[in-house]
Structure 1
Amino acid sequence: MPLTRHTLMEAAAARFGWRRAYGDTSEVDHLLAEQAETAYRQADDHAALATAKNTNALTVQPCVLDVRGRVLADVLYLEGVLAGARNRDLAPKLIEHLEDAVAHGHELTVLLADTVRTTAAHASSGN
């Protein structure tokens, strides 16, 4: 399907809160590659901007707090997806991967919280 048509269909579906499911692994692989390409393209300017803006530990803190909040919200949403998969007795491998993703997400929120604490500790120590 041409990218333009795909994008229009996705945009229309999103307006109604619908998400498309892909039954073909090649479509999934294409979508994953597209997501990665978009994310890396958007990240190109982040390093330069962060270098200019993050002059000390406290200037890093709000950014890390924002990321932690988004990750935590997404992990809790994913926990709901996991609960639904369990309740519907979906494929054990799917449940296993969801469990791993949820556990990893929670570990990431802990690491991000530790990072935020470190920014405050460095600020109070004068570094």
Structure 2
Amino acid sequence: MSLARRSLMEAAAARFGWRRAYGDTTQVDALLTEQTETAYSEAADHAALATAKNTDALHLQPCVLDVRGRVLGDALYLEGLLSGARARGLAPELIERLEHAVDHGHELTVLLADTVRTTTAAHATGH
């Protein structure tokens, strides 16, 4: 199936709240590779835009706050998935991986909050 057709089908399914599950690691690996390639292809644009627009610490602050909000929401979503996996008695390895992902997500929100605080401190000192 072509990428365009698959993307259209997945977009339509997502609109109804459906998500596709992949039962084959080859398909999962292909999807992960596609996600990575897309993210890295957009990263150059992000870097160029950020360099042009973010002239001081306070210019960074709203962007970091936005990222923290998204990461926190995703970490809490993963926490819900973890609760469901535990309640259903799913594979211990899956539960362990979800635990690590949740912990990492919460650690990342703390680091991002510290980064936001640093933007304020840097502004106060004129850096």
Q: Which amino acid aligns with 1:57?
A: A
Moved over 4 A (4+): none
Output the CA distance in 2 between the equivalents of 1:29 and 1:70: 24
Matched with 1:15 is: 15
Q: Which runs of 5 or more residues in structure 2 are unaligned?
A: none
Matched with 1:63 is: 63
Secondary structure, counterpart of 2:7 in structure 1: helix
Aligned length: 127
Deviation per CA, 1:29-64: give whole Å up to 9, x if none.
000001111111121211111111111111111110
When the two chains are superposed, the root-mean-square deviation of aligned CA atoms in Å is 0.9
Matched with 1:90 is: 90
What's the TM-score once normalised by structure 1's chain length?
Answer: 0.96
Secondary structure, counterpart of 2:17 in structure 1: coil
Cα offset, 1:2, TM superposition: 2.2
Secondary structure, counterpart of 2:78 in structure 1: helix
Matched with 2:25 is: 25
Output the CA distance in 1 between the equivalents of 2:101 and 2:56: 32
